[in-house]
Chains A and B, each alone.
Chain A
Amino acid sequence: MNIVQRYMKNINLIIGLLVIVGFLVVMVISFFYTPHDVNTMNIPEKLHSPSSQYLFGTDEFGRDIFSRMMKGTQTAFAVGLLTVFIGSTFGILIGGIAGYVGGWVDEIFMRLMDALMAFPGIILALMLVAVFGPGVVNTAIALGVIAIPAIARIARSGFVQHRDAEYVLAAKLIGVKPYNIMFRHILPNISSQIIVAATVTFATAMLAEAALSYLGLGVQPPNPSWGRMLKDSQAYLVKASWYTFAPGGAITMLVLGLYMLSNALRDYMDPRSKS
């Protein structure tokens, strides 16, 4: 295999990591420094095109888009991580118990998951946000709930695969409690699959948050969220087109990075899809 091909094989990993680390760095910096204040309005300066003073231009209230994008990484990671946390925790619990115990517990849990999955996700999110109100935490809860079935499925199949393994039988013989078997022994063995699913969940959470913002729900002002900024920019598509490319580009890049990372992880676990 020549250099190019070897390089190509790892491109997913390289780009994925680069993007994510890049945004993480921006996020960390944003806690301490942004070129301009994120929420202060400066209406005479509204809708300026990008300049040395305002790297990405200003929005309809004269706020610096670049600074808001930086702060937006905080919201993005907050929503994403919270969603992944909720989805994974409950997904692993439900899928794990279903897979390990089996029988009618398995049937019931999985039917519930099927019902949840058959539900168009965005509708469930809409209704949940309407019940509990919009905002970062509630959005994450709604998106987390939608993410549960997919992770539960993966967890379940992993647990089913491993529950009859020798090391599990051995642990049972020694008298290790089921709880410990499940989460101290089996879980680490299937963690790579879960991590792949979690990465994808993060990505879909970003897209779903953008969709919710488009419908007027999701993260609310003045909290800068990329999804919300994307929606606000629609009115200025012609007048100030840079305004829409910043959040749109950012979401696309972060999601792309996450997908590529998940591909790299999947390829690493499943050699058949490589050559």
Chain B
Amino acid sequence: MKPIRNWFLLLLLLLVGLIISACSNDNDKKDTNTVPTNAPVTTDTPQEIVVRINDDPDFLDPHKATASISYQIILNIFDGLMAPETDGSLKDGLAESYEISEDGLTYTFKIRSGVKFHNGEALTIEDIQYSFDRLMGKNGGEKMSNNFDNVASTEAPDATTFVIKLKEPNSNFLYSLTARQSAIVPKSNDGKHNENPIGTGPFAYVKYAPGSNLVLKKNDSYWKQGLPYLDKVTFTFQSDDQAAIMSLMANEVDLTSVPWQRVNEVEDSHSLSHQNNNSSLIVTFNETKAPFDNVKVRQAMNYAISKADIIDSVFAGYAVPLGSNMSPAMGDYQKKGLESMYKQDVEKAKALLAEAGYPDGFKTKITVSSHNEIYSNIAQIVAANLKEIGVDVEIEVVEWGIWLDRVYFGRDYNMTTIDLTGRASAYEILNDYISTNDGENFFLFKNEEYDKIMADVLKETDTAKQIAYYQRAQEILAEQAVSVYVADYQIVWGSDKQVTGLKSYPFWFHDMSEVKFSN
């Protein structure tokens, strides 16, 4: 008996010792965030934030990075000639003003002076020239982006002017000049842009531990006076949504997206903000494979599938129904009213199927990716809805890499569901459906009127006329029932109550430049 008692006593002592040491040595963040609300505003509230991101960036080099996840982070490090606004428009970035010539071919930018890189060097016109040359492959390296194929030439007539000449007018061109497409990087950092990214943005790179976190620190000489407020930003990578919300509740993380079903668990203890993702969640078809090559069948699908069911059970109501491939987050660019074109009507769906030659329904398969449960959940609802009109859907779940390979690039599928991520410009959102866009047109959709509209809009300089073009494009997609445009789901961001200054953009970007902790 005695030896065992000794063991247990020892364990107990160890435990007690641990608890004592923990209480006395408690230097975790919670202490600093529980400043009583009636205390005076002090600068002692540490301005350090921990933000959760779903996955690692693919590259730190802004010219190489493509995943939206990467841009969430690295747009805090870099600036472009133009900068994005929260409503989808553009504002001045490193260019303090610009002019476009009458024929739409010459863009002249006046570069801001007094801007410094994180390494202390001044931003010069050579750095801007270097950045564009690098992107276009003129530095002896490979071409890094297709966005500048339309550029005839670039030149720097003096120390504060940069001129870009296009081959053909493109009303969308300015969108290629934000940090997302053409971040300005210092010439002196050539070859090290990925190991040690240096830019002109509000935060400077400190270190990156893959799979773990990425740390940024304040850029004391940022060109926007008084900004940023934060001293340190830590992005931690956590792919599991459930674990993330628990970290938020345990105050180990200050900002994260909250799973829709669990919003009410944090609504009292944290601030919530809803961001329209500006994505289009669609159930779509391979338009070249029967029976989906028949527009009536596609329309039947639209009448049969219940968007309300999906919004309710998968997104707990946090989604806005769509009618075409454009979200209300894009403001005037969206054609309103299309979402009522195909109100759920089982009888009509069956009738359409019969007209198309499938009175008894048919069998098909929906292929979805496993990297996020929402897709297999949506597939289950789709299968249940379609069963009622006699369509027998088999659900096939594959890994993300395989989905990309087979469905997105290989186009070997019948039905699938995915959300198309938001872009800042209406053109980039709608160009997926252009028949010559091999890279993105995985629906294999071909429509002459659509192609013509999307070509004409680039030549149009009047914004009102551009909007008319984009709206007609959306109408075509709805009329042709190219996909079932289910919804734009909202991201619910949960943040520590003391965090202010968060902004939401029509694309993924955690803009930390105006964020601070207050009382």
Contacts and interface: CB of A to CB of B under 8 A. Distances in A.
Answer yes or no: A and B touching, Cβ < 8 Å: yes
Interface of A: 39-41, 43, 46, 60-62, 130, 133-134, 216-217, 220-222, 232, 234-239
B380 A60 contact: no
Given A236-B261, A239-B261, A220 B381 contact: no
Interface string B338-375: 00000000000000000000000000000000110100
A216 B370 contact: yes
A216 B399 CA distance: 9
Contacts of B313: 41, 43, 46, 60-62
B397 interface: yes
Contacts of B379: 221
B370 A234 contact: no
Nearest to A237: B242
B397 A239 contact: no
B261 A60 contact: yes
B309 interface: yes
Given A222-B395, A235-B262, A239-B261, 11 more contacts: A39-B384, A41-B380, A61-B313, A61-B381, A133-B397, A133-B398, A216-B370, A216-B373, A221-B377, A235-B259, A236-B261
A250 to B, nearest CB: 21
Contacts, number: 62
Nearest to B401: A130
Interface residues of B, number: 27
- Decide if the interface of chain B is mainly helix, strand, loop or mixed: helix
Contacts of A221: 376-377, 379-380, 395, 397
B383 interface: yes
Interface in B78-131: none
A239 B241 CA distance: 16
B402 interface: yes
Contact of B370 (A39, A40, A134, A232): A134
A40 B384 contact: yes
A220 B373 CA distance: 11
Contacts of A237: 242
28 contacts: A41-B384, A43-B312, A60-B261, A61-B380, A62-B313, A130-B402, A133-B397, A133-B402, A134-B398, A216-B370, A216-B371, A216-B373, A217-B399, A220-B395, A220-B396, A221-B376, A221-B377, A221-B380, A221-B395, A222-B380, A222-B383, A232-B373, A235-B261, A236-B261, A238-B262, A238-B265, A239-B261, A239-B262
B242 A234 contact: yes
Contacts of A62: 313
A235 B397 CA distance: 20
Nearest to A222: B380
A44 to B, nearest CB: 9
Contacts of B373: 216, 232
A156 B462 CA distance: 82
B160 to A, nearest CB: 53
A232 B259 CA distance: 13
B307 to A, nearest CB: 12
Interface in B47-85: none
